Structure 1
Amino acid sequence: MGEMPSFQLGVIGALFLSVASSVSIVICNKALMSNLGFPFATTLTSWHLMVTFCTLHAAQRLNLFESKSIDMKTVILFGILNGVSIGLLNLSLGFNSIGFYQMTKLAIIPFTVLLETLFLKKQFSQKIKLSLFVLLAGVGIASVTDLQLNFVGTMLSLLAIITTCVGQILTSTIQKRLNVSSTQLLYQSAPFQAAILFVSGPLVDQFLTRKNVFAHKYSSVVLAFIILSCIISVSVNFSTFMVIGKTSPVTYQVLGHLKTCLVLGLGYTLLHDPFTVRNIIGILVAIFGMGLYSYFCVQENKKKQSVDLSLASQMKDRDSTPILSTQDKEISHEARKSTKNSLV
């Protein structure tokens, strides 16, 4: 019983860290790319992962956590898959309008639900599906504007959705089946994610921006924001693995859309981005949908726990019944034998 409150506190802490760090890095990166003219998103992500690995390596050397070896083939494939998904998402943004890119991100939740239902045999109740629909509708109203379709952009978006969903499902599956923590998995996989993006990042960024990241003039302000972004990214990457490991890929995506609403709100408040009544209505609907999702998840978890306790109680009674029954039979047999001897 004592483990449940600590587990719940761990989940709440992971969710809070994920939201706080993700919103912070979005604001930092937006200032870096929009205001300071540094548009190299994919290369910046590779630097994020390298700093994350170096930080975790230092923590491991200080015995802050214990490194656990994982099958190298699994780690390499997992790292490459996550690196490719980040590159595809950036390419999708480059080839599509902002509205279609937001639709791509919205499609990750239903596709994740579909994959988990088909391959992991996971069941989602009608209430959960309804709450997800309300959430996605709200985010769509708040963030999706124009929808400009093109063949290359659509193919890139489909590949980005598939790789992102599979990568997040594998993050959860590997942690639970191999009994590794989020820190251990991130420590093992970060070098491979960083390597694939370090090689492909400059090429992707040059293709999208027509600029060379190595020829960019780095002022002291730009360097300061890059360092700040890399520091925040350690929390972002760590909390991402932690949230998926402690909850599920669907819950992580739901949290991601809450971040979108917060970024829209903070963008209007701090950065004075244009804001309309439509944005306000969409954010309120999305928050209501997330509230429904959280409520239904808590109710279903309580129901599952009560069923598990009931089954455990039944198993305990079943295990104890034969012993008592055998003893009663032995006592009854001795009594009959004693009565028979007295009659003789």
Structure 2
Amino acid sequence: IPITLGVILNSYYDVKFNFLGMVFAALGVLVTSLYQVWVGAKQHELQVNSMQLLYYQAPMSSAMLLVVVPFFEPVFGEGGIFGPWSVSAVLTVLLSGIIAFMVNLSIYWIIGNTSPVTYNMFGHFKFCITLCGGYVLFQDPLSVNQGLGIACTLFGILAYTHCKLREQEGNKSRLAQRP
């Protein structure tokens, strides 16, 4: 609850809302949540590590995108997939691919070793650090309400971490007491 309240406070005082944006945001949250739960379930079901899951998932994602991309991106000519490419464009695409690989690998590793909820806590923490970093490094304006939102979110993350650590200690002590 504190995390949700904190994210709402930050978003409400930072972003302009409209109905279409809310629909896309809700769909994004739904799809992302389902994806994260699926990653955790498949990793445990198949008994694979993060690298193995990525090895099998990446070709399927590429095949699905191969069908969809031509509807949204030009295929031939200037700026097209099969058009002329500059060296900087090729390097940018390669760098983007490497970063995407590393992001996916870290997602699978965190979810596989913890849970989708813990991964989301990490994402909210990253969000708070990004907002604070923007304020400190670039003097981005930060309203009092956004500050309260960040504090509320961080409180929720700390409470979640405390509860998880307590749960782990309880599990360890129960295992130690078993004959």
Instruction: Count matched residues.
Output: 173
2:16 to 146, 160, 168: 146
For residue 214 of structure 1, give the secondary structure of its aligned residue in structure 2. coil
Q: 1:221 to 1:280 in 2, by over 3 A?
A: farther
**How far has the Cα of 1:238 moved from its partner?**
0.5
How many angstroms apart in 1 are the aligned matches of 2:53 and 2:28?
22
Q: Does 1:254 align with 2:135?
A: no
* Match in the other structure for 1:175: 43
Deviations 1:225-278 (A, max 9, x none): 444333222221111000011111111111111111222233344455443333
Cα distance in 2 between the residues matched to 1:228 and 1:239: 17
State the SS of the aligned residue for 2:16. coil
1:230 corresponds to: 97
Q: Is the 8 A contact 1:139 1:283 kept in 2?
A: yes
- In structure 2, what is the Cα distance between the partners aligned to 1:204 and 1:298? 46
Specify whether residues 218 and 240 from structure 1 end up closer, same or farther in structure 2 by C-alpha distance, changes over 3 A only: same
- Output aligned runs, 1:215-294, within 5 Å: 224-270=91-137, 273-294=140-161
Tell me the secondary structure at the aligned position of residue 241 of structure 1: helix
State which drifts further: 223-232 or 193-202. 223-232
Residue 149 and residue 247 in structure 1: after superposition, are their counterparts in 2 closer, same or farther (change >3 A)?
Answer: same
% identical aligned pairs? 31
Paired amino acid for 1:232 = I
What aligned pairs does 1:152-163 form with structure 2 within 5 A after superposition?
Answer: 154=23, 156-163=24-31
- For residues 167-206 of structure 1, the aligned pairs below 5 Å read 167-204=35-72
Which structure is richer in relative contact order (CA contacts within 8 A, separation 6 or more)? 2
User: How much has 1:178 moved relative to structure 2?
Assistant: 2.0
Distance change >3 Å, CA 225–CA 169, structure 1 → 2: same
The 1:267/1:197 distance shift into structure 2, 3 A limit, reads farther
Structure 1 residues 270 and 197 mapped into 2: Cα distance closer, same or farther (>3 Å)?
Answer: farther
Gaps of 5+ in 2: none
CA contact (8 A) 2:73 2:80 kept: no
Give, as a single letter, the amino acid of the residue that structure 2 aligns with 1:180.
V
SS at match of 1:294: helix
Query: 1:138 Cα deviation (Å)?
Result: 1.5
Q: Label 1:198 to 1:270 Cα distance change in 2 as closer, same or farther (>3 A).
A: farther
How many Å apart are 1:176 and its aligned residue?
1.4
Q: Deviations over 1:133-190 (max 9, x none)?
A: 112212222233333114x962x55544333222211211121122111111110111
Q: Equivalent residue for 2:162?
A: 295
Distance 1:279 1:218 in 2: 43
Distance 1:203 1:260, change over 3 A: farther
Quick check: 1:139–1:286 contact (8 Å CA) kept in 2?
A: yes
1:223 CA drift (Å): 5.2
Determine if contact 1:139/1:261 at 8 Å carries over to the other structure.
Answer: no
For residue 195 of structure 1, report the CA deviation from its aligned partner: 2.3
